[in-house]
Chain A
Amino acid sequence: MKLNERSLAFYATCDAPVDNAGFLYKKGGRHAAYHRRWFVLRGNMLFYFEEPGSREPVGVIILEGCTVELVEAAEEFAFAVRFAGARARTYVLAAESQAAMEGWVKALSRASFDYLRLVVRELEQQLAAMRAAGGAAPPRRPSALPPRENGCACAVWSAETPAAPAARPGLERPPLPPRRRASAPHGPLDSAPFIRLHEWYGQEWILVFALLLFLLGGRKKATSAWVAQFPGRGGLSCRGTGDSEMPRCWTRDLICPLPSLASPAVPWPRASGVLVRSPIPL
């Protein structure tokens, strides 16, 4: 399959905002050694270089449709980027400190284009609602953003600003694109409002509780705790088991918890040995 790799390489090294950067150890394969690489997260692309000054990346991990989770591994501060699908590769990475690991897990969990699009749609709706409630029509946006839109200077691109959709008469929102159906992390929330998405992501205390139960009382108790909190969410980490029971491997598919919508930002759980050291082997 062809890919515009040259453009990709330029994107990797351009002056667009970097969302995270740092050294990580990357496991070469199932039984391979770890290699230290310089990682740069830009948008939904995770590039890795031999070193910070390298002009071209060694490779890139495209982050759509992945989940990020903490793992038990020989390396400290390890986490995994996992994709759905049979025989899909799991990238095991390790940071050099607890703080770095937490930073990366957070950043990667929210790196997908889908997620960003959800946030933008939500804000767009909020703004439209506010303006409608406010009564006065918003002034039409004056002309163009300077030619930095998408990093280029082109008449088509600079003709409109991001606010243009909201400023059209009737404050019509463009129709939502069709949601992805096959992707596990977003599957249950295809039609959920954004607030629910964050609630779902943010239930880390449920995860802690469930894990504790697992460690103390075994899988059944933890499973029933999970299911009790999320009735009908047995498919959350479904690997196609085909039955309605919670799949046995659910603990391996915990979505990395994000700060909850409802409560104020909860500090990232410290490495108390509960979330970091999952007893489940990969």
Chain B
Amino acid sequence: MRYNEKELRALSQQPAELAAELGMRGPKKGSVAKRRLVKLVVNFLFYFRTDEAEPLGALLLERCRVAQEEPGGFSISFVEDPERKYHFECCSQEQCEQWTEALRRASYEYMRRSLIFYRNEIQKMTGKDPLEQFGISEETRFQLSSSPREGQSAGVSSQLDELD
């Protein structure tokens, strides 16, 4: 698949939400943990050799699963292949929790759900749609039933009802 690598590289140089040197082990069997500089920028996780400015690689954090792994580490895997895990080793439990928390919020889909949630809450409290003032209330992506699938949209609405 073609992608605009140049822009992705440029993105890796932007200020990060979170950055740290962690142990990282790839998903292949028999891979060894190596020290990497790991950097979270928007919904990408970049990883660098500790002494290099250019990233070795990037992981797009959509449809991924972040799990704590004993001891003091976490893993990232993707929905389509949950057994294929990228392992990370932290230096403390706090760091581990900090990362899992941040990675959990690092997807576009999560942000979208948050927006829908806050929008709904504010609308319930005030009777007004907070997105109207920004002129984006009609955007498909921010609708309660923004998913084309019946099941998923019903799911979102019922989630929100449940939280009442």
Contacts and interface: CB of A to CB of B under 8 A. Distances in A.
A152 interface: yes
A162 interface: yes
Interface in A28-86: 42-45, 56-62, 64-66, 83-85
B65 A120 contact: no
Given A198-B134, A261-B134, A123 B152 contact: no
Interface string B144-164: 001111001001000100110
A126 B1 contact: no
Nearest to B159: A145
B58 interface: yes
Q: Give the interface size class of chain B.
A: 35 or more
Given A142-B163, A157-B65, A17 B148 contact: yes
A202 B3 contact: no
B57 A2 contact: yes
A123 B125 CA distance: 13
Contacts of A1: 5, 8-9, 54-58
Contacts of B130: 123, 126
Given A15-B149, A61-B4, A156-B104, A6 B80 contact: yes
Q: Give the interface size class of chain A.
A: 35 or more
B119 interface: yes
A20 B148 CA distance: 11
The 5 closest A-B pairs by CB, nearest first: A259-B135, A2-B57, A59-B2, A43-B108, A178-B15
Interface of B: 1-11, 13-17, 42-43, 54-60, 62-68, 78-82, 100, 104, 107-115, 117-119, 121-122, 125-126, 130-131, 133-136, 139-141, 146-149, 152, 155, 159, 162-163
15 contacts: A6-B80, A10-B80, A19-B140, A60-B1, A65-B11, A113-B43, A142-B163, A145-B113, A151-B63, A155-B67, A157-B66, A162-B118, A177-B15, A178-B15, A181-B14
